[in-house]
Amino acid sequence: MNDRFAYLLKRYLDKLATGEELEELRSLIRTNEFEDIVKSDIADYLMADFKDPETGREHQADVLYDRILNEVREPFVKVETGWKRRWMWAAAAVLTGIGVVIWNSGKWKKEIAKNVQVAATDSLLTFSNKDFIHLPDGSTVLLNEGSVLSYHASYGTSLREVSLSGEAFFDIKKDPGHAFIVHTGNVITKVLGTAFNIDARQKKIVVTVTRGLVEVGDKNKTYGRIKPDEQITVNTANNQFKLAEVNALSELKWKNESLIFDEITVEESAKMIEERYNVKVNFENNDIKKCRISAWFLNGEDLDHVLEMVSGTRQASYVVKGDQVNIIGGFGCE
């Protein structure tokens, strides 16, 4: 097993991982480099805990593993409260903050403990295509299709810098002592705490602001400082630029296609579902309404897909009748 992967996984299992380490582990998982060892351990764990002589333990483990893999690709879902180990609900994609199910079995810990002999490195973390990324400082990035975002593992220790190819929407935590900097070729976008979009997909870079103040320039000069509902377009061929007033919400239609629940309650997620799909969500068990959840749906998922994932995190079911959605049963927060 790769030493860095083993180190990060042990940190996660011991509940010691920082946000930065979780993002690095998540990026490693996505490469599928460790798929075989993860599959082997999950299968062993499931065959021990969910023995079913009628269907066969091997078959049962393979089916469940495949279902889990299919669910963790997109969207990502995370719940932070405890839940009972039940065969049918293990397949409901109740995931951890690293975007994949990893069972905390003794076998993992024993194997990891023998292999961990590694110091932290300043490796480059890379994310691509549609994704919702939590940066170590609590800032978030919504990455559009065909885009790439990267930053060093030391992000936040002294500098907050990322590199972007493509398009992304940034929501940046304010830190007066550390400016946030986005590199898109020779163009540099600098902020302290704000929300803005960068589109660098063609031979121009377009920066649109929804909150705060953004400075755009290169290493030699500043092109301009723009406020909410303002936009600056830079021609990368000749470094010419122009400023314009815009309706930021209309300009960023791609962002509004995503549905993101970021550390909110199930009740708050229901309100967002109501607005997106023009339905009314009702709860049979009010105990689940205050449970917190993180989930993101980035590919225009339909109502059933979203409801299946959200209700499944609390082991509930749902019924849709016309414009009424009834969430039935489920376990409250422990």
Q: Within 13 A of 148's CA, how many CA atoms are on the CB side?
A: 8
- Tokens found for residue 224: 């301009």
Identify residue 65 by its one-letter amino acid code: Y
What's the pLDDT at 23? 60
pLDDT digits (tens, 9 = 90+) for 215-247: 999 988 999 999 999 999 999 888 899 999 999
What's the start-to-end Cα distance of the chain, in Å? 35
pLDDT digits (tens, 9 = 90+) for 31-51: 555 556 555 554 554 444 444
What's the pLDDT at 32? 54
Q: Which of 330, 324, 229 is nearest to 280 (CA)?
A: 324
Q: How far apart are CA 8 and CA 320, in angstroms?
A: 42
Q: How far apart are CA 298 and CA 137, in angstroms?
A: 23
Average pLDDT of span 262-270: 92
Residue 304 pLDDT exceeds 70 = yes
Q: How far apart are CA 198 and CA 232, in angstroms?
A: 10
Question: To the nearest 5 percent, what fractions of the chain are helix, strand and coil?
Answer: 30, 30, 40
pLDDT over 90 percentage in the chain: 41
Average pLDDT of span 87-105: 31
Q: How far apart are CA 102 and CA 84, in angstroms?
A: 15
Residue 156 pLDDT exceeds 90 = no
Q: Angle 32-35-40 (CA atoms, 0-180°, nearest 5)?
A: 175
Q: How far apart are CA 267 and CA 222, in angstroms?
A: 45
- Tokens found for residue 254: 């791609």
pLDDT digits (tens, 9 = 90+) for 271-300: 999 999 999 999 999 999 999 888 888 888
Q: How far apart are CA 149 and CA 152, in angstroms?
A: 11
Contact yes or no for 151/135 (Cβ under 8 A):
yes
What's the pLDDT at 176? 86
Q: How far apart are CA 217 and CA 187, in angstroms?
A: 6
What is the model's pTM? 0.64
What's the pLDDT at 231? 96
What's the pLDDT at 154? 85
Q: Which residues pair with 231 in a beta bridge?
A: 208, 244
Q: Which of 269, 275, 278 is nearest to 327 (CA)?
A: 269
| Three-state SS at 181 | strand
What's the pLDDT at 205? 95
Q: How far apart are CA 33 and CA 62, in angstroms?
A: 19
Whose structure tokens read 């469940």? Answer: 64
- Tokens found for residue 190: 């600098």
Residue 139 main-chain phi, psi, to 5 deg: -70, 160
Residue 90 pLDDT exceeds 50 = no
Q: What is the CA radius of gyration of the chain?
A: 22
Q: pLDDT tier at 10 (50, 70, 90 boundaries)?
A: low
Average pLDDT of span 20-37: 59
Identify residue 198 by its one-letter amino acid code: I
Q: Angle 151-152-153 (CA atoms, 0-180°, nearest 5)?
A: 120
108: region left, alpha or beta (phi > 0 left; psi from -120 to 50 alpha): alpha
pLDDT digits (tens, 9 = 90+) for 310-331: 888 888 999 999 999 999 999 8
Q: pLDDT tier at 120 (50, 70, 90 boundaries)?
A: very low
Q: Please give the domain boundaries of the chain with CATH numbers for all domains.
A: 3-115 (no CATH), 131-254 (2.60.120.1440), 261-328 (3.55.50.30)
